[in-house]
A and B are shown apart, each in its own frame.
Chain A
Amino acid sequence: MLELHDGSLHVNTILADWYAKISDKNYGAFIPFVGIVRDEDGIEGLSFDIYEPILNSWFNAWQERAKAQNAYLLMAHSRGDVPNHTSSYIAAVVSPKRKVALTMINDFVEDFKANAPIWKYDLVDGKRVYAKERSHVLSGSGLLKADV
């Protein structure tokens, strides 16, 4: 299940909703990860652009991978501005036993950081500054650059 929200995530509501959805499905483990925007380098918060078509196909591929291990993935992400000390990202894995979910939440979040089509900006003096140095190039980058 993938949810996109405008602005900060309402963590308590989302986690309670997810727990209500999965608690009677006989999963033994529910492993959530909540990302919280930190106050560092003078930023006021973060801001995000998302390209939904490729995000959906990326997430669906992961859901199939989870299904093959009898697990299930849930993810919520913010669009637009997210102030410091609020959440922009929640991911969770549920599985019959904890070891599958504990391993998968790490692999899933790492791959999310490297490949999900989401662009992050620092909010500085009310303006968006692309977080280029913290971003990851996707596979095949540079294909259209002119030959020198």
Chain B
Amino acid sequence: MAKVEFLGPLGRPSIEVDIANLSELKTFFKDDQELQDWLAICAVAVNDTLVCDLNIPLSKEDKISLLPPVCGG
């Protein structure tokens, strides 16, 4: 099971999901209305590298991170 972590203000505990790629994760989240508002503005990292391709293959050891808009300093 791949791990999904919700960073910063998302404030949700991590979950584990059985998915083969990010396209399946997108489908997994499609009925979560509260999360959809966040997903519109969240970037996605796989194993701590930002990605922009839904078709990247995922394995059960992979970590997916959702990153809301940032503002340090």
Contact = CB atoms under 8 A, between A and B. Distances in A.
B52 A143 contact: yes
Main SS of the interface on chain A? mixed
Nearest to B43: A138
A144 B41 contact: no
Interface residues of A, number: 38
Contacts of A53: 48
B65 A138 contact: no
A117 interface: yes
Given A57-B48, A143-B51, A51 B30 contact: no
Interface in B28-73: 29-30, 36, 39-45, 48-52, 54, 65-73
B26 A146 contact: yes
Contact of B43 (A48, A77, A113, A143): A143
Given A120-B71, A143-B22, A143-B54, 11 more contacts: A57-B48, A89-B72, A113-B72, A116-B70, A132-B9, A137-B69, A139-B50, A140-B51, A143-B26, A144-B39, A146-B26
Interface of A: 35, 48-51, 53-54, 57, 77, 88-89, 109, 112-121, 130-132, 134-146
